[in-house]
Structure 1
Amino acid sequence: MKKRTFIKLSSTLMAAPIFSPLSNLFANDKLKNWAGNLQYSTDRLYKANSVKEVQELVKKYEKLKVLGTRHCFNNIADSTNNLISLREMDQVVSLDTKAHTVTIESGMSYGQLCPYLDKKGFALHNLASLPHISVAGACTTATHGSGVKNGNLSTAVSALEIVTAAGDVRTLSRAKDGENFRAAVVGLGALGVVTKVTLDILPTFQMRQYVYENLPTDQLKDHFEAIMSSGYSVSLFTDWQKKRINEVWIKSKVGKDDAKAKPEFYGAKLATKNLHPIAELSAVNCTEQMGVAGPWYERMPHFRMGFTPSSGKELQSEYFVPRKNAMEAILAVEKLRDHISPHLMISELRTIDADNFWMSPCYKQPSLAIHFTWKQDWASVRKVLPMIEKELAPFQVRPHWGKLFTLAPATLQSRYARLADFKEFVKEFDPKGKFRNDFLARNLYSGAV
């Protein structure tokens, strides 16, 4: 963009009324998600800079959805009516060093929050592969990192502030609200507009990561728990071919028991250079490996804070099964390797501890997440997903809420024991369905509006 154009555009933005649709200024640009596979159903996107402005928007419109960092691959955040952005509400509200909590505005991303916490001497217990996602969006969809003892990102939430459909401000906390809190944290955007999030924090720590190549599947079968417990956070990357795991990423805390990596790990060989999860790609955007110690937030994600890991030209699906069935599920998917591989970029296997949030895929069960990064060819991928879902059906599989799946609504609903309770709870916040969109209508309400 030319400097003169930028200055003119900036002046227009500053002069625009607060409730003018932002997209009207970009009439030639269609609003899409990060991957580019989804075009949103309206160009009416409004910004809010404060809770008061959120309340005014909520009161003004009959239908509304919050649009976060646009990293969802399906239409969970879509609206045919109005979208609201809280991206400019991205400040730390308070840091309570005695209670070990931080309260932030919901537009803040992990990439913004983590360096701040580290400078103050604190850390988060877990992070996702990408630091570019918003904290509120990640928590409301039960997005996760990895670790047999690590709950997903929402398990760090200790309080939420939500603007309801009536424009009222409600606060829910773990300490005071019990089951209502457990219903609200993984809220799928159904309750209202989350404006503040309070997270538990830990003393800061250093980490290092090593990568091993070509782990035989037979070793995984015989030593699954030991392999997945070998670090604070462990990820396995596979293309499902040659009866092996392509790469094992082991992320460990630096401490007194910290040991130098062995040249071999259950038959896998220690990598001699930094690797990308897709071995053919450059590792320049990946977090530092080779055992080099660094801050927790520069090791737990796979990709660096300062870089976009790719242009987004991909599709993603992810399925959760009970960890007790992990190897059965992995071998069931492996049988489909020749159907999967032509359309696949890479798969990742991660473990997540159980939680008690009603709509979390990890509700009351330690889980294995089987992730697929696909080539951007939905016509082909949509034919493969039912095959995967059929193979994983015996394990009561649950899909990631923000990624692509084809599971029938009735089947999906049957996998959530507290779904009826959740829908009753939603009525307290949104009795007329102001925040209900096509995704929620189909998947939670079987299409009934």
Structure 2
Amino acid sequence: MTLTNWAGNTAFTAARIHHPTSLDELRRLVADAPRVRALGSGHSFNDVADSPGELVRLDRMPHLVEIDSAAARVRVGAATTYARLATELHAAGFALANLASLPHISVAGSVATGTHGSGPGNQSLSAAVRALELVTADGSLVTLERGHDDFPGAVVALGALGVVTALTLDLVPAFELRQYVREDLPDDAPLDEVMADGYSVSLFTDYRGTRAWIKRRDELPGGDWHGARPADGPRHPVPGMPAESCTAQLGVPGPWHERLPHFRPDAPPSSAGNELQSEWLLDRADGAAALRELRAAGDRIRPVLQISEVRTIAADDLWLSPSYGRDSVAFHFTWVKDPEAVLPVIKLVEDVLAPFGPRPHWGKLFSRRPAVPDRFRDLVRRYDPDGVFANAFTRTLLET
């Protein structure tokens, strides 16, 4: 049976898939393989995780969640999902400052692709990493900590340096949030003010009408919110879909890990895989102008669009992070599952956003090859001179 990604739009071509049960077994496997890659939870929409040789999944490795309460950090196994990690952290009185909209995804895969949550003061999930452990091409186990010269290039590395086995993440004290939905946000609502009016704010739009999801530590005052009215019940981000799979709304307070994601871990996320996704991140200062341009192109985007989400993310210093060096605004697109119809619209969106210097989410669909700094190419050559971890995705990306 052919292994595919979560959405079923990409079939993995690796000859074999391995499930090592110990670190020693993984190290031997990597050292003996001419070509090998690690596969996380399979939530990418492209072939970033595929391998022309062997694939390894770390889902049978020993469970690892080691909380250091005094230092406010946790060492976690690479294959652990954010849903499982969050439950254990909350029980110990801790939290992650940020989570993605899906809690189903693995920690290492999310970090490696620069996956982010939302919030004007919240950095990407990758920015929480303070150390990572990886098996390199000869089977050696290497630990890189924040402050090491290679660290900023090794965190968001697309699997090109080795197989990450564990990460150490910064923690904050556990906290509660409330989630609200406001509908019919006016087009002239000031984007910067709207996006700053919560711990995390998401706008869901078809570039004709807009709904806001606001996650706050305190109560949201009643009545209109920047001209938007309160929803009269729970909502799903995709219009017309039932809201049972979504986290609690209507201002009901709850733990951070049950409010920051849009979707519950025990329910199918998003459109349950019946979708394709793309996302581009721009300088936050260009958000309002980019939104206007996308609205102007809305008639050409809507025929293949389920919903688009607008979020903000704080800058970080990780070389391949889409938020590297700039506070960012992200434009996410959930497309219909029709690659032939969607690809021309992806190219259209890239044309619309081109004046704003867009950077794609590494795990989603895009057509223009993004720029990669030479220092990352040098890092790959040092850690993997024989291309053991290379695949079609990284070879194309690292072409000069």
Deviation at 1:308, TM superposition (A): 1.7
One-letter amino acid of the counterpart of residue 115, structure 2: T
Please point out which of 172, 188, 196 is paired with 2:166.
Answer: 196
CA distance in 2, matches of 1:401, 1:117: 28
**Structure 1 residue aligned with 2:105:** 133
**Structure 2 residue aligned with 1:261:** 221
CA distance in 2, matches of 1:391, 1:374: 17
**Structure 2 residue aligned with 1:118:** 90
Runs (4+) of structure 1 moved beyond 4 Å? none
CA distance in 2, matches of 1:341, 1:184: 38
For the residue of structure 1 that corresponds to 2:156, the secondary structure is: coil
**Structure 2 residue aligned with 1:432:** 386
Q: Is the 8 A contact 2:335 2:342 kept in 1?
A: yes
Please point out which of 376, 394, 398 is paired with 2:359.
Answer: 398
**Structure 1 residue aligned with 2:135:** 163
For the residue of structure 1 that corresponds to 2:185, the secondary structure is: strand
Q: Which runs of 5+ in 2 are unaligned?
A: none
For the residue of structure 2 that corresponds to 1:225, the secondary structure is: helix
Give the TM-score taking structure 1 as reference length. Answer: 0.87
1:331-346 equivalence runs, <5 A: 331-346=292-307
For the residue of structure 2 that corresponds to 1:424, the secondary structure is: helix
Q: Is the 8 A contact 1:251 1:300 kept in 2?
A: yes
Give the TM-score taking structure 2 as reference length. Answer: 0.98
**Structure 2 residue aligned with 1:293:** 253
Deviation at 1:311, TM superposition (A): 2.8
1:6-405 equivalence runs, <5 A: 29-89=1-61, 91-174=63-146, 176-177=147-148, 179-219=149-189, 223-241=190-208, 244-245=209-210, 247-253=211-217, 258-309=218-269, 310-405=271-366
Q: Is the 8 A contact 2:178 2:219 kept in 1?
A: no
Q: Is the 8 A contact 1:89 1:106 kept in 2?
A: no
One-letter amino acid of the counterpart of residue 69, structure 1: S
One-letter amino acid of the counterpart of residue 35, structure 1: A
CA deviation string 1:124-164 (max 9, x = no partner): 00000100000010011110000000000001101000111
CA deviation string 1:376-418 (max 9, x = no partner): 00001111111111111111111110100011x3xx12xx4xx
For the residue of structure 2 that corresponds to 1:154, the secondary structure is: helix
One-letter amino acid of the counterpart of residue 368, structure 1: V
One-letter amino acid of the counterpart of residue 194, structure 2: I
Structure whose alpha-carbon radius of gyration is higher: 1
Deviation at 1:208, TM superposition (A): 0.7
CA distance in 2, matches of 1:280, 1:31: 30
Deviation at 1:428, TM superposition (A): 2.1
For the residue of structure 2 that corresponds to 1:52, the secondary structure is: helix
Judged with a 3 Å threshold, the aligned counterparts in structure 2 of structure 1 residues 280 and 166 are, in CA distance, closer, same or farther, namely: same
Determine which structure has the larger helix proportion and give its number.
1
One-letter amino acid of the counterpart of residue 231, structure 1: G
One-letter amino acid of the counterpart of residue 96, structure 1: D
Q: Which runs of 5+ in 1 are unaligned?
A: 1-28
Judged with a 3 Å threshold, the aligned counterparts in structure 2 of structure 1 residues 248 and 90 are, in CA distance, closer, same or farther, namely: farther
Identity %: 46
Q: Larger deviation: 265-274 or 283-292?
A: 265-274
CA distance in 1, matches of 2:44, 2:180: 29
Deviation at 1:90, TM superposition (A): 5.9
One-letter amino acid of the counterpart of residue 185, structure 1: V
Q: Is the 8 A contact 1:92 1:102 kept in 2?
A: no
CA distance in 2, matches of 1:260, 1:143: 28
For the residue of structure 2 that corresponds to 1:339, the secondary structure is: helix
Please point out which of 363, 376, 379 is paired with 1:422.
Answer: 376
Q: Is the 8 A contact 2:238 2:307 kept in 1?
A: yes
Q: Is the 8 A contact 1:90 1:106 kept in 2?
A: no
Deviation at 1:261, TM superposition (A): 3.0
CA deviation string 1:312-343 (max 9, x = no partner): 01000001110010111111111211111010
Q: Is the 8 A contact 2:133 2:167 kept in 1?
A: yes
CA distance in 2, matches of 1:106, 1:90: 10
Instruction: Choose between structure 1 and 2 for higher RCO, CA contacts under 8 A separated by at least 6 residues.
Output: 2
Deviation at 1:42, TM superposition (A): 2.5
Deviation at 1:80, TM superposition (A): 2.2
